[in-house]
Amino acid sequence: KIQLPGDVTYIIHCLQAAGHEAYAVGGCVRDSLLSRTPDDWDITTSARPEETKALFGRTVDTGIQHGTVTVMLHKKGYEVTTYRVDGEYEDGRHPNEVTFTSNLIEDLKRRDFTINAMAYNEEEGLVDAFGGREDLEKGIIRCVGDADERFTEDALRIMRAVRFSAQLGFAIEEKTKAAICGHAENLRKVSAERIQVELTKLLASPHPEFLKYAWETGITAIILPEFNRMMETSQQNPHHSWNVGEHTLRAMRAVRADKVLRLTMLLHDCGKPECAFTDEDGVDHFHGHAAAGSRMARGILKRLRYDNDTIDKVTELVYWHDCEILPEIRAVRRAASKVGTALFPLLLEVKRADLAAQSDYQRAEKAEWLDRLDSLYEQIQEEGDCLTLKDLAVTGRDLMAAGMKPGPQLGRTLTALLEFVLEDPGKNTKEYLLANLPKET
Ligand code: ATP
Ligand code: MG
């Protein structure tokens, strides 16, 4: 038995009282059966959109042409969609036309996977026409109906299959998997924005390493060919036990499930294939790969239409991920100042995940080194040490009051003063700094 929220029961009962059928449907039914809390509750009904609108006080026409009306209750929105059959899909993108139907099973049939094609209400209980419950118990992602047809209608479902498998830790059923291999090419027709949404959900899931299935089935060859290059790049040196791609999968798994961190681990070594060099002893080197990778990461993230804030953070973290920081307080202050206080704690997490995914060569020493960096940074924060120009005891205005002319020299002087202070925070007073201005160069 599924416990529906009060608002959902209310909406279903209103629709039923007006002579219509109504059920909770899709993701919320799946998540309830898994004892997970659904993000949102969708309702499917035999009522036409205008009939739904007439029954509720506040509604929004979210996708009226596809039959979707959002009912607002207690400041929350509930999508109520009329039973529908999807028409032909234009270029495997969106249905050209939708036809409303009065038959629930017809509506469930158009849905992507068996686990997403169940409906529930208190009167009828669970409506499960395609074995969704059994697949949930067995942990299987399976298309409703013929997998080849379903992926031809809408190629985004190819991404969704792998995304759900990573979120739930499920296997993809054989025929569904074979159909993914056969139709992965169709992802070229899907917009970058829609792919990005699914890729982000996959990466931020409990199993980001399931990206490997996207690689095996030919998905990454279309949406992220750079990852295929990583899988083809071996790294024969003491630091690694796996090729670049396998290391990447492990590094993603080792970092917290956060969008920026997971994208950083995905791309931290993307420059390695470009920078690989094997010496005469057969040892692989990758000089300059972090800077090259940071540039490449920007191109990849732009292509996938990520927002600028995410792009800036990820490319910075990729750039610095391999930097050396001596385990002493002045070096940590300088590094935190250079990387920025917003990103430095994330950089420490990135370094830890990278180490966790490497070979056990010098692992104990390196882990100890990272522990030192963590505690030194903690100490710096507790002391409130100045790390940025903004926290410097002297401003450009102070320098001009002391007789300096405006111009680029002013900025250089402030930077030099910050260097002083990073060496010794005790020097961060107006008196000391103004009395010890660096010689003009
Ligand atoms: P999430 O927890 O990520 O929201 P969800 O299953 O609710 O998962 P939605 O994208 O919100 O996924 O879609 C709601 C429902 O609509 C799905 O459960 C599925 O039944 C159906 N659906 C969504 N996208 C498609 C699609 N591309 N093809 C077929 N059915 C789809
Ligand atoms: Mg949903």
DSSP character at residue 113: B
The residue ranking higher by pLDDT, 98 or 182, is 182
Residue reference for tokens 């080194």? 369
How far apart are alpha carbons 244 and 162 in whole angstroms? Answer: 21
Q: What is the mean pLDDT of the chain?
A: 95
How far apart are alpha carbons 300 and 303 in whole angstroms? Answer: 5
**100 φ, ψ (degrees, to nearest 5):** -75, 150
Quote the pLDDT of residue 115. Answer: 98
All residues at 6 or more sequence positions from 143 whose CB lies less than 8 Å from its CB, including other chains? 112, 113, 114, 150, 151, 157, 161, 173, 175, 176, 179
DSSP character at residue 273: H
Q: Provide the token pair at 171.
A: 């296997």
ipTM: 0.99
Quick one: which of 116, 118, 185, 115 has its CA closest to 148? 185
Question: Does residue 88 carry a pLDDT above 70?
Answer: no
Mean pLDDT of 210-232: 98
- In 10 A of CB 138, how many CB atoms? 12
Q: Provide the token pair at 339.
A: 């990387």
Question: Does residue 303 carry a pLDDT above 70?
Answer: yes
Quote the pLDDT of residue 152. Answer: 94
Question: pLDDT confidence of 94, banded at 50, 70, 90?
Answer: low
- Ligand in closest contact with the CA of 26: 1
Question: pLDDT confidence of 86, banded at 50, 70, 90?
Answer: confident
> Would the CB of 112 count as within 6 Å of ligand 1?
yes
Could you tell me whether strands 171-172 and 140-141 are parallel, antiparallel, or unpaired per DSSP bridges?
parallel
What domains, with CATH codes, occur in the chain? 6-138 (3.30.460.10), 142-223 (1.10.110.30), 256-385 (no CATH), 389-435 (no CATH)
Rounded to the nearest angstrom, the distance between the alpha carbon of 100 and the centre of ligand 2 is 21
Rounded to the nearest angstrom, the distance between the alpha carbon of 256 and the centre of ligand 1 is 26
Quote the pLDDT of residue 9. Answer: 98
Mean pLDDT of 310-323: 98
Question: pLDDT confidence of 361, banded at 50, 70, 90?
Answer: confident
Tell me the best of 111, 127, 153, 189 to mutate to test the pocket of ligand 1, counting ligand atoms within 8 Å of each CB and taking the most: 111
- In 10 A of CB 27, how many CB atoms? 17
For the CA of 31, the closest atom of ligand 1 is: 2
Residue reference for tokens 């402030």? 414
The tens digit of pLDDT for each residue in 380-413 reads 999 999 999 999 999 999 999 999 999 999 999 9
Residue reference for tokens 């490449």? 296
Question: Does residue 36 carry a pLDDT above 70?
Answer: yes
How far apart are alpha carbons 290 and 279 in whole angstroms? Answer: 20
Rounded to the nearest angstrom, the distance between the alpha carbon of 104 and the centre of ligand 1 is 16
- Ligand in closest contact with the CA of 201: 1
Quote the pLDDT of residue 339. Answer: 97
Mean pLDDT of 362-368: 92
Quote the pLDDT of residue 92. Answer: 54
Rounded to the nearest angstrom, the distance between the alpha carbon of 332 and the centre of ligand 1 is 46
Quote the pLDDT of residue 97. Answer: 77
DSSP string, 57-80: SSEEEEEGGGTEEEEEETTEEEEE
Quote the pLDDT of residue 89. Answer: 66
For the CA of 26, the closest atom of ligand 1 is: 18
How far apart are alpha carbons 156 and 153 in whole angstroms? Answer: 9
Mean pLDDT of 353-368: 92
Quote the pLDDT of residue 360. Answer: 87
Residue reference for tokens 């499960």? 128
- Ligand in closest contact with the CA of 37: 1
All residues at 6 or more sequence positions from 135 whose CB lies less than 8 Å from its CB, including other chains? 113, 114, 115, 141, 142, 173
**Where are any strands of DSSP class E within 202-324?**
277-278, 284-285
- In 10 A of CB 382, how many CB atoms? 8
Quote the pLDDT of residue 93. Answer: 56
The tens digit of pLDDT for each residue in 246-264 reads 999 999 999 999 999 999 9
Cα–Cα distances in Å, from 170 out to 49, 161, 210, 251? 35, 10, 10, 21
The tens digit of pLDDT for each residue in 192-201 reads 999 999 999 9
Quote the pLDDT of residue 90. Answer: 62
Query: How many distinct helices (H) and strands (E) make up the chain?
Result: 23, 15
- In this structure, which residues have their CB less than 5 angstroms from ion ligand 2? 27
Residue nearest to atom 21 of ligand 1 (CA): 111
Q: How far is CA 192 from the centre of its chain?
A: 14
Question: pLDDT confidence of 100, banded at 50, 70, 90?
Answer: very high
Quote the pLDDT of residue 18. Answer: 98
Q: How far is CA 255 from the centre of its chain?
A: 12
How far apart are alpha carbons 81 and 69 in whole angstroms? Answer: 6
Sign of CA dihedral 148, 149, 155, 156: negative
Question: pLDDT confidence of 284, banded at 50, 70, 90?
Answer: very high
Quote the pLDDT of residue 439. Answer: 81
